[in-house]
């Protein structure tokens, strides 16, 4: 990962969280913010550990801070998990993501969400989440499940089957109830142009 790619990811997450981009906003969020603080140090660990100099300077400190936030905020998200730009954690607490999971761009995760592994059966494996996906509080996605783009998964839903694009899924087990998708749940996705301008939005 290049520094430019790291910067883009950090600012895309910041914009999804605050609606603003800029060094001042970034510093305030890193010092006093909630879930963005976790996301920032998670991104920083992922970047720093891939560079020889940073691996022995920045990474140990970033890893220590992330370790503390993992327990304080109740978020288990292994470094190296593949997550696209614009990642947003709405509320901390009880979030568990298997490190082999893949999450697309502009994914919103709420409190109590689990992206877990199935160890046997036809769905053996881990979830793959598409772009612009909203995952509601308490939702569980288990096994080699493919969640399409623009999907909304309701609170406390348990998903064990593939979900098509633009679906709204609710219940236990999860079932598609409409094709309204995640419209209205996923916002602030226009960060690419704003970051590209190289100045605060």
> What number is the average pLDDT over the span 4-24?
95
Contact in structure between 49 and 55 (CB atoms under 8 Å): yes
Q: Which of 186, 107, 180, 179 is nearest to 141 (CA)?
A: 107
Q: Residue 59 falls within a domain, yes or no?
A: yes
Write out the two tokens for 45. 């660990």
DSSP 87: -
What angle in degrees, to the nearest 10, is found between the helix axes of 58-73 and 35-48?
A: 150
Q: How far apart are CA 178 and CA 181, in angstroms?
A: 7
Q: In the structure encoding, which two tokens stand for residue 55, read together?
A: 């691996």
User: What does the alpha-carbon distance between residue 96 and residue 55 come to, in Å, rounded to a whole number?
Assistant: 26
Token digits of residue 140:
């569980």
How many folded domains does the chain comprise? 1
pLDDT classification of 94: cutoffs 50, 70, 90: very high
End-to-end distance of the chain based on CA atoms, in angstroms?
A: 25
Tokens of 59: 């990474």
Indicate whether 44 belongs to any domain: yes
Beta-ladder partners of 89 = 109
Q: What is the pLDDT of residues 130-179, one digit of tens each?
A: 999 999 999 999 999 999 999 999 999 999 999 999 999 999 999 999 99
Cis check: omega of the bond before 7, within 30 degrees of 0:
no
Please check the confidence at residue 13 and state whether its pLDDT lies above 90: yes
- The answer, yes or no, to whether residue 200 has pLDDT greater than 80, is no
Distance CA 17, CA 36 (A): 7
| Structural domain of 9 | 3-75+187-196
In a domain, 131, yes or no: no
Q: Which of 81-95, 167-181, 184-198 has the lowest mean pLDDT?
A: 184-198
**In the predicted model, is pLDDT for residue 196 greater than 90?**
no
Using CB atoms within 10 Å of the CB of residue 20, give its burial: 0 to 12 exposed, 13 to 18 middle, 19+ buried.
middle
pTM above 0.85, yes or no: yes
Instruction: Judge whether 176 lies within some domain.
Output: no
The pLDDT > 90 percentage for the chain reads 92
CA distance 19 to 201: 8
Enter the DSSP assignment of 163.
B
In a domain, 154, yes or no: no
Q: Reply yes or no on whether the pLDDT at 101 is more than 80.
A: yes
Q: Note the residue count of the chain.
A: 201
Does a structural domain hold residue 182?
no
What average pLDDT does the structure give for the chain?
94
Q: Residue 125 has what DSSP assignment?
A: B
Q: Is residue 65 part of a domain?
A: yes
């Amino acid at each position: 990962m290049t520094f430019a790619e790291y910067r883009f990811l950090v600012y895309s997450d910041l914009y999804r969280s605050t609606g603003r981009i800029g060094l001042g906003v970034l510093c305030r969020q890193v010092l006093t913010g909630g879930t963005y603080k976790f996301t920032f140090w998670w991104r920083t660990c992922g970047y720093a550990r891939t560079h020889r100099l940073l691996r022995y300077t920045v990474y140990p400190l970033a890893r220590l801070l992330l370790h503390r936030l993992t327990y304080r905020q109740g978020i288990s998200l292994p470094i190296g998990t593949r997550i696209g730009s614009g990642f947003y954690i709405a509320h901390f607490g009880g979030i568990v993501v298997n490190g082999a999971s893949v999450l697309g761009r502009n994914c919103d995760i709420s409190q109590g969400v689990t992206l877990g592994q199935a160890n046997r059966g036809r769905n053996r494996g881990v979830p793959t989440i598409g772009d612009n996906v909203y995952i509601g509080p308490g939702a569980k996605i288990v096994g080699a499940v493919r969640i399409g783009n623009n999907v909304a998964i309701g609170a406390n839903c348990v998903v064990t089957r593939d979900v098509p694009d633009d679906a709204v899924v609710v219940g236990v087990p999860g079932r598609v109830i409409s094709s309204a998708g995640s419209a209205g749940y996923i916002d602030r996705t226009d960060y690419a142009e704003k970051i590209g301008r190289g100045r605060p939005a």
